Amino acid sequence: MKFADLIKPEAVKTIASASSKKRLMHEVADLASSAYGLPSQEIVDALMERETLGPTGVGQGVALPHARIAGLESVVGAFLVLEKPVDFDSVDRQPVDLAFALFAPQDAGVEHLKALALVSRNLREANLCAKLRANPDPITLYTILTETESVKAA
Protein backbone atom coordinates (compact mmCIF):
# COMPACT_ATOMS: atom_id res chain seq x y z
CA MET A 1 0.00 0.00 0.00
CA LYS A 2 1.20 3.51 -0.88
CA PHE A 3 0.00 7.06 -0.24
CA ALA A 4 -1.03 7.27 -3.89
CA ASP A 5 -3.45 4.38 -3.22
CA LEU A 6 -5.06 6.31 -0.35
CA ILE A 7 -5.38 9.88 -1.48
CA LYS A 8 -5.96 11.90 -4.60
CA PRO A 9 -4.90 15.50 -5.29
CA GLU A 10 -8.43 16.82 -4.71
CA ALA A 11 -8.27 15.52 -1.12
CA VAL A 12 -5.35 17.75 -0.10
CA LYS A 13 -5.87 21.27 1.18
CA THR A 14 -4.33 24.07 3.26
CA ILE A 15 -6.60 26.11 5.51
CA ALA A 16 -5.85 29.26 7.48
CA SER A 17 -7.19 27.92 10.75
CA ALA A 18 -9.90 25.96 12.52
CA SER A 19 -11.42 27.39 15.68
CA SER A 20 -11.71 23.99 17.38
CA LYS A 21 -11.17 20.27 17.00
CA LYS A 22 -14.80 19.86 15.93
CA ARG A 23 -14.43 22.62 13.32
CA LEU A 24 -11.35 20.82 11.98
CA MET A 25 -13.43 17.63 11.70
CA HIS A 26 -15.98 19.61 9.66
CA GLU A 27 -13.19 20.85 7.37
CA VAL A 28 -11.94 17.26 6.93
CA ALA A 29 -15.48 16.07 6.21
CA ASP A 30 -16.10 18.82 3.65
CA LEU A 31 -12.83 17.95 1.90
CA ALA A 32 -13.64 14.22 1.84
CA SER A 33 -17.16 14.96 0.69
CA SER A 34 -16.00 17.02 -2.28
CA ALA A 35 -13.14 14.65 -3.20
CA TYR A 36 -14.94 11.32 -2.80
CA GLY A 37 -18.66 12.16 -2.75
CA LEU A 38 -19.01 11.02 0.86
CA PRO A 39 -21.79 12.41 3.08
CA SER A 40 -20.24 15.25 5.07
CA GLN A 41 -22.38 15.03 8.21
CA GLU A 42 -21.96 11.25 8.41
CA ILE A 43 -18.19 11.75 8.30
CA VAL A 44 -18.24 14.34 11.08
CA ASP A 45 -20.42 12.10 13.24
CA ALA A 46 -18.20 9.06 12.63
CA LEU A 47 -14.98 11.00 13.34
CA MET A 48 -16.35 12.53 16.53
CA GLU A 49 -17.64 9.15 17.68
CA ARG A 50 -14.17 7.65 17.11
CA GLU A 51 -12.62 10.49 19.14
CA THR A 52 -14.70 9.43 22.16
CA LEU A 53 -12.64 6.22 22.25
CA GLY A 54 -9.45 8.25 22.55
CA PRO A 55 -7.92 11.23 20.80
CA THR A 56 -6.27 10.64 17.45
CA GLY A 57 -3.75 13.42 17.93
CA VAL A 58 -0.59 11.33 17.84
CA GLY A 59 1.87 14.05 18.80
CA GLN A 60 4.34 16.44 17.19
CA GLY A 61 1.50 18.46 15.66
CA VAL A 62 0.02 15.47 13.79
CA ALA A 63 -3.51 14.07 13.98
CA LEU A 64 -4.76 10.88 12.33
CA PRO A 65 -8.54 10.99 12.65
CA HIS A 66 -10.18 7.94 11.15
CA ALA A 67 -13.57 6.28 10.87
CA ARG A 68 -15.52 3.60 9.06
CA ILE A 69 -18.03 4.91 6.54
CA ALA A 70 -20.86 2.91 4.99
CA GLY A 71 -20.76 2.64 1.22
CA LEU A 72 -17.01 2.96 0.77
CA GLU A 73 -15.30 0.30 -1.32
CA SER A 74 -11.71 1.03 -0.30
CA VAL A 75 -9.73 3.01 2.26
CA VAL A 76 -9.36 6.67 1.27
CA GLY A 77 -7.73 9.67 2.87
CA ALA A 78 -7.86 13.43 3.15
CA PHE A 79 -4.97 15.66 4.21
CA LEU A 80 -5.12 19.15 5.70
CA VAL A 81 -2.39 21.56 6.69
CA LEU A 82 -3.46 24.28 9.11
CA GLU A 83 -1.59 27.57 8.99
CA LYS A 84 -2.59 28.12 12.62
CA PRO A 85 -2.51 24.97 14.82
CA VAL A 86 -5.58 23.91 16.81
CA ASP A 87 -5.87 22.17 20.17
CA PHE A 88 -6.66 18.51 19.47
CA ASP A 89 -6.26 16.80 22.85
CA SER A 90 -3.09 15.19 21.49
CA VAL A 91 -1.08 12.73 23.53
CA ASP A 92 1.75 15.28 23.90
CA ARG A 93 -0.71 18.17 24.47
CA GLN A 94 0.72 20.02 21.45
CA PRO A 95 -1.65 21.68 18.98
CA VAL A 96 -2.17 20.06 15.59
CA ASP A 97 -1.29 21.58 12.23
CA LEU A 98 -1.14 18.40 10.09
CA ALA A 99 -4.22 16.17 9.86
CA PHE A 100 -4.37 13.04 7.72
CA ALA A 101 -7.84 11.52 7.95
CA LEU A 102 -8.58 7.97 6.85
CA PHE A 103 -11.97 6.54 5.94
CA ALA A 104 -12.51 2.82 5.62
CA PRO A 105 -15.39 0.60 4.53
CA GLN A 106 -17.48 -0.82 7.37
CA ASP A 107 -16.02 -4.30 6.85
CA ALA A 108 -12.40 -3.23 6.24
CA GLY A 109 -10.06 -5.24 8.38
CA VAL A 110 -6.37 -5.42 7.68
CA GLU A 111 -6.46 -2.77 4.90
CA HIS A 112 -7.58 -0.11 7.37
CA LEU A 113 -4.78 -1.11 9.78
CA LYS A 114 -2.19 -1.12 6.99
CA ALA A 115 -3.28 2.37 5.92
CA LEU A 116 -3.09 3.68 9.50
CA ALA A 117 0.36 2.15 9.93
CA LEU A 118 1.61 3.66 6.65
CA VAL A 119 0.39 7.16 7.46
CA SER A 120 1.53 6.99 11.08
CA ARG A 121 4.99 5.70 10.18
CA ASN A 122 5.57 8.38 7.55
CA LEU A 123 4.16 11.32 9.52
CA ARG A 124 6.48 10.50 12.43
CA GLU A 125 9.40 11.55 10.22
CA ALA A 126 10.44 15.08 11.13
CA ASN A 127 11.88 15.82 7.67
CA LEU A 128 8.66 14.91 5.91
CA CYS A 129 6.55 16.97 8.33
CA ALA A 130 8.89 19.95 7.89
CA LYS A 131 8.46 19.76 4.10
CA LEU A 132 4.69 19.54 4.45
CA ARG A 133 4.59 22.52 6.80
CA ALA A 134 6.76 24.60 4.44
CA ASN A 135 4.56 24.11 1.37
CA PRO A 136 1.04 25.56 1.34
CA ASP A 137 0.28 24.52 -2.26
CA PRO A 138 -2.04 21.45 -2.34
CA ILE A 139 -0.44 19.96 -5.47
CA THR A 140 3.02 20.29 -3.93
CA LEU A 141 1.73 18.69 -0.71
CA TYR A 142 0.24 15.80 -2.69
CA THR A 143 3.54 15.32 -4.53
CA ILE A 144 5.52 15.33 -1.26
CA LEU A 145 3.18 12.73 0.24
CA THR A 146 3.12 10.43 -2.76
CA GLU A 147 6.83 10.68 -3.55
CA THR A 148 7.74 9.60 -0.01
CA GLU A 149 7.65 5.91 -0.97
CA SER A 150 9.65 6.45 -4.16
CA VAL A 151 12.51 8.05 -2.25
CA LYS A 152 12.51 5.24 0.33
CA ALA A 153 12.46 2.59 -2.37
CA ALA A 154 15.46 4.03 -4.22
Q: Residues with catalytic annotation?
A: 66
The DSSP line for 44-65 is HHHHHHHHTTS--EEETTEE--
pLDDT digit string, tens, across residues 88-102 = 989 899 999 999 999
Q: For residues 33 and 143, give the distance between their C-alpha atoms in angstroms, rounded to a whole number.
A: 21
Cβ partners under 8 Å of residue 118, min gap 6: 1, 2, 3, 6
What residue ranges do the domains of the chain occupy? 3-145
Domain covering 3-145 in this structure, CATH number: 3.40.930.10
Tens digits of residue pLDDT in 25-81: 999 999 999 999 999 999 999 999 999 998 899 999 999 999 999 889 999 999 999
